[in-house]
């Protein structure tokens, strides 16, 4: 499956899960900021991706958990060096370039873009 085909399926999944129009689902659109996703939607998206691509997505793999509640990783509202290292390991599918310049945890949601999901699925299908 090519990246374009993966994107088309991810787009369809997000249209169904979030009730948005397909032209809103661009590669750089953020799930929470641009597409209005709430916490339960992340699980809905995982459920739908598993079905659409016939894969198993272990919890915390696509959308990492247990980072923000770890004091070793977060100090004064920012990710520490250890936190960033952990995030790089856990999210090889995300582009961290901008976030690393100012790792404010309030900006972490911006890492969850449509392209982040596409990258994850492409990697998963190739594995």
Partner 1 sequence: MRWMWIDRFTEFLPGKRAVAIKNVSLAEEHVHDHYEAFPMHPASLMIEGMAQTGGILVGQMTNFQEKVVLAKVTKAEFDDIVCPGDQLTYEADMESFAREAASIRGVVRKNGNPIGTVDLMFSHVDQNLAGTKFPEENFVFTGSFQRMVAPFLEGGDG
Q: Which helix (H) or strand (E) holds 8?
A: helix 3-18
Structure tokens at 46: 């995982």
Window 2 to 41, contacts with partner 1 (CB under 8 A)? 16-17, 19, 39-41
Kindly list the distances between the CA atom of residue 16 and the CA atoms of 22, 45, 69, in Å, as whole numbers in the listed order: 10, 9, 31
Window 57 to 86, contacts with partner 1 (CB under 8 A)? 59, 65, 69
Which residues does residue 75 pair with via DSSP β-bridges, in sequence order?
78
d(CA 28, CA 33): 11
Q: Given candidates 5, 28, 33, 47, which one binds partner 1 under the rule CB under 8 A?
A: 47
Q: Given candidates 44, 52, 95, 105, which one binds partner 1 under the rule CB under 8 A?
A: 44
109: contact with partner 1 by CB under 8 A: no
- Positions touching partner 1 (CB under 8 A) are 16-17, 19, 39-41, 43-44, 47, 50-51, 59, 65, 69
């Amino acid at each position: 499956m090519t990246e374009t085909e993966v994107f088309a399926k991810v787009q369809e999944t997000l249209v169904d899960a979030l009730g948005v129009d397909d032209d809103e689902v661009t590669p750089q659109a953020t799930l929470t900021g641009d597409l209005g996703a709430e916490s339960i939607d992340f699980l809905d998206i995982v459920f739908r991706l598993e079905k659409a691509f016939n894969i198993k997505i272990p919890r915390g793999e696509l959308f990492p958990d247990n980072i923000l509640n770890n004091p070793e990783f977060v100090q004064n509202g920012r990710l520490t060096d250890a936190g960033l290292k952990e995030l790089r390991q856990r999210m090889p599918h995300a582009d961290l370039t901008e976030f690393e310049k100012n790792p404010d945890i309030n900006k972490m949601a911006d890492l969850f873009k449509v392209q982040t999901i596409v990258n994850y699925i492409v990697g998963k299908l190739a594995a």
